[in-house]
Chains A and B, each alone.
Chain A
């Protein structure tokens, strides 16, 4: 039942525009892979190619060991959740859920049983007679999910399924989707432009931009070791600060100069690439650039800055300040009392710096991952340790989906 998905050298060209360029990506069996990127980066096109709704211009797409380039969507055994939910407006919830099974010729009694199970899992039992137009956004979302779940497909495809929900419901459904995936462990490709969804839900995250895959890694790895400036800027909110810097080498020791200060490369990090003329872009996450008064002892570098804007968020405040001619954002504690035009001291930990080649934008510094090696363990490694258990669990649970205790656990 569990299948891996492979894209091998896949291109998609619309007219003169290349939507996806040379995509090589593997979604491991049972993995929840989030495809994230800004609008028009090719993520939805990628998903639609896997569903069979678009044909790749070049390259191969495999589900399991089966080449599916020319297989009609009908026969791919994938289920898709659309951004608009795409429920059949003229059918009630029951018929919406049953449509796919009926289309595959399932017997009426089997359909009835499975609709009931799925409706129980998603808490839709009392809504089966209603039309989609009589449901709230969250309920429609559940029906769309149920329509995918009921089929027990090899692969789930989700195209921004939460983007039409209000903020509160989105958080709730995020957790629910993660829980459902924990339970059924179906290979999932999830498209979103929301980095919070990506970070919280993905076993791994694939970042795309301008049709090209930028990086595929576990969320923490992606956050701590972004492969290039794009990934560094896209993942993380508020955005990472980028300031120009210079690498200098004296007596075999390399140091970085930026914002008017100079610091050696920290002990745990190592340079992985050459730069042209020592020009680099230094990346600083706002949470690593702290108010001098409350900074941790590790934050040994200090710079002086003039406050430009203070944005209180309640539990913290974002302070935009000008420092050596560069505008940087820094995370302050709440109620710090700083005001516009005030001079403040910002402190930063040299070990938390990111370095990118100024020309190519690629990272040139490999940093240790915060939290140690355990967190860094990739999904593939995690799976290797407990594969048999996870799979048998799926079989058992799909068999006994109607049990009331499980329904409670979800709703």
Chain B
């Protein structure tokens, strides 16, 4: 600093070039019209009594915090929020991450031929259309389906007995390939010599994973958690195709509840308000992960 004193303004400072606005304007307009405006408008609609049909679809009013108060007293909404959190934490955060990591580790240590076959099978499940996965798991869990035969309870319809579990498992089965691929890439990029050093230094396999591999994979794990959470929070097709939120409201996660309120009961305003809560939940999770990733490395 002292050296630069008296030399006037720096010549290499960053400058804004107004001409760049012209070049950027098409992109800015598109973003504004298709993204910024709808998001802000949705925020506004969440505080109105807009309906899908009828008089309120044209002449709707700003209702202040009415939708929020209604939500707080809405038993279905509260249950639905819990189901969403259970679904995301159980199926995505724990199930998909743990199983994806386990698969990635096993495939890394397997013979090339074995890992190629297993890896392909796992990825096929991911490539299948969601509606197909839903039908497969629907059939699988019915009374007299494969699952009931395997468990020797042919009279039990597991989709009715433990609906949330079956839906979560189906989702896990479908999405685990994503985490597996992310972790496989992460494992491949670890510095080989560091792992070898730990081995030569006498660390057991468990110790190497716990103290070296997992800490080094932390950025990959956080990225995976972030993506998996966001993707699963808005999961609709699979659950809707399997149970339509039932039996009762046992699998009515927030996306399904939004759909029901907005398009079945025509309460667009209220539905939008719920979807804002969904966004909020996603933001909270994301914030937690980002903070966790900053704490070290």
B43-97 residues at the A interface, CB under 8 angstroms: none
Instruction: Flag whether B20 is at the interface (Cβ < 8 A).
Output: no
Per-residue contact bits, chain B 175-196, to A (CB 8 Å; 1 contact, 0 not): 0000000000000000101101
Chain A residues with CB under 8 A of B296: 90
Assess A103 versus B203: contact at CB under 8 Å? Given A89-B216, A90-B216, A90-B297.
yes
Cβ contact within 8 Å between A84 and B204: no
Per-residue contact bits, chain A 64-97, to B (CB 8 Å; 1 contact, 0 not): 0000000011111011101110111110000000
Minimum CB–CB distance from A49 to chain B (whole Å) comes to 13
| Complex: A51 Cα to B194 Cα, angstroms | 14
Instruction: Flag whether B207 is at the interface (Cβ < 8 A).
Output: yes
Instruction: Flag whether B7 is at the interface (Cβ < 8 A).
Output: no
Question: Which residue on A lies nearest to B195, using beta carbons?
Answer: A86
Instruction: Flag whether A52 is at the interface (Cβ < 8 A).
Output: yes
Contact residue range for chain A? 20 to 34
Chain A residues with CB under 8 A of B216: 89-90
Minimum CB–CB distance from B111 to chain A (whole Å) comes to 15
| Complex: A124 Cα to B202 Cα, angstroms | 23
Cβ contact within 8 Å between B193 and A74: no
Chain B residues with CB under 8 A of A13: none
Instruction: Flag whether A99 is at the interface (Cβ < 8 A).
Output: yes
Instruction: Flag whether B155 is at the interface (Cβ < 8 A).
Output: no
| Complex: A76 Cα to B199 Cα, angstroms | 10
Instruction: Flag whether B215 is at the interface (Cβ < 8 A).
Output: yes
Cβ contact within 8 Å between A74 and B204: yes
| Complex: A73 Cα to B203 Cα, angstroms | 10
Cβ contact within 8 Å between B194 and A89: yes
B256-297 residues at the A interface, CB under 8 angstroms: 296-297
Minimum CB–CB distance from B209 to chain A (whole Å) comes to 13
| Complex: A11 Cα to B200 Cα, angstroms | 22
Instruction: Flag whether B12 is at the interface (Cβ < 8 A).
Output: no
Q: Which of A79, A88, A89, A104 is close to B200, meaning CB atoms less than 8 Å apart?
A: A79
Question: Which residue on B lies nearest to A95, using beta carbons?
Answer: B211
Cβ contact within 8 Å between B191 and A104: no
Question: Which residue on A lies nearest to B207, using beta carbons?
Answer: A103
Chain B residues with CB under 8 A of A391: none
Chain A residues with CB under 8 A of B203: 74, 99-100, 103
Listed in ascending order, the chain B residues whose CB lies under 8 Å from chain A are 191, 193-194, 196-204, 207, 211-212, 215-216, 218, 296-297
